[in-house]
Structure 1
């Protein structure tokens, strides 16, 4: 039987961490240390490296520590164990058990695990989900996202196609751009006035991330007379075009610009999936039906993002 050793991540592991991330079944640029560490001052990093008997990395666990609780990294939407394709399920069960033992010995009270949805994987790869069940973890949260599978016929709702025509008939231009300041200002104004919150990322952080990942972060804007009225910030992975943020200004709502932005995004998408993001609040207990329906009308389907926990003490 193969045995495993768990250790905390340290800066000297940076290169081998990033090298292993590129080989994992779970594919997203935000698993790299460059992304994880752009906001390192907000969290206590508790990322774990799992090695085999020959000291080779077999899995990674991006994580943070807060008040005795280790969680799949609090700065990432999802995560969990990162491992290579074609990893046998018993291996993942054993690795998860070893992480539990390591955390228990180091006085961790609880572990929270955010499952990576299958669309972000190079194969179906739900070995970790079975391992969580096998090791008696508890499902504590389920968010519902809207996704589009690009390799089938996409038929957006008639109202969305009508809104696109309204936008285009009013000389709205949809294009890729780098006007992050205009987009962020519009986003911040919208979130502040309607929900009394601010964007998760500051303008400076978005510009910095774009400089780090120029091919993975893209901004699409809807313009009238050179003024941005709407936009969508996209995170691109090998399989997925993820809508990280989207916004309509007051004028944008008047001309139905966001509908036109999304319709062009769908038409131009070269990925296997589009992920519109979740439509839930209150840890998944409240479904924003209007938002979910909006995504559904672009020919969206449902995808769940699951959160599990294990009480250790």
Structure 2
């Protein structure tokens, strides 16, 4: 075996493990400071932090695009500094930036990416159209990246990350700058993948996105984890969660449900407050079953955002 064995105390159910990881750039800037973090297999883990907190640096080290100054990183039990290629095999990465050749076609982007992971062209050919269909890019194979809309480029980044059928999906601000329809499409796809067993690590600026998608969270500030835990244990869990539901059409009736306080703000907006333990997704499905389709959800008094701001104000 070329990879380092599990350290004492590490568990086989851990997908990602960072142990005392630091990254100091040339010039002395310390982006990540003695950081330790574990993400269990099957988790949907959110990483929150202000710009410059160290989120992207941490992700780049995890996927082998940057080397830590000190510390160790295991991906599914593989030390990514001992066998970087083997560690990379199980990870799909969707970066925040559009790092694709503008003159490549969608077809070329997918085949080139498969080659980076050691996939043969025949292997890529068997799966790439299904992946493009999953993200809503069917029939776009011969379009160049330059010709795609901004939303389509984000879809292509996601498709590229799914090509290798990863057991771990790492997403750096996947819905930054996209419209509400695409954001909902991405949310639905990510929840479906997580339900199938894919471990997901997400960085996001959208607090409602973190609260809607994530099971566990960590807050990164000045390169350090300052708090982490199950989402129900963070963000003042005894408070009600406040949401605004922006509907696709005029509201015909207000649908009641246990643990949910709901009132109509205007002809297309519902004000919704969920008690501790009440499920946002369950109530959304109830509305859908009653023929009331939600366009998007916002959270003007998001409890997680209030907590996050309190933790990172210094």
Q: Structure 2 length as normaliser, TM-score? A: 0.28
Comparing both chains, which one has the higher relative contact order based on Cα–Cα distances under 8 Å and sequence gaps of 6 or more? 1
Q: Structure 1 length as normaliser, TM-score? A: 0.28
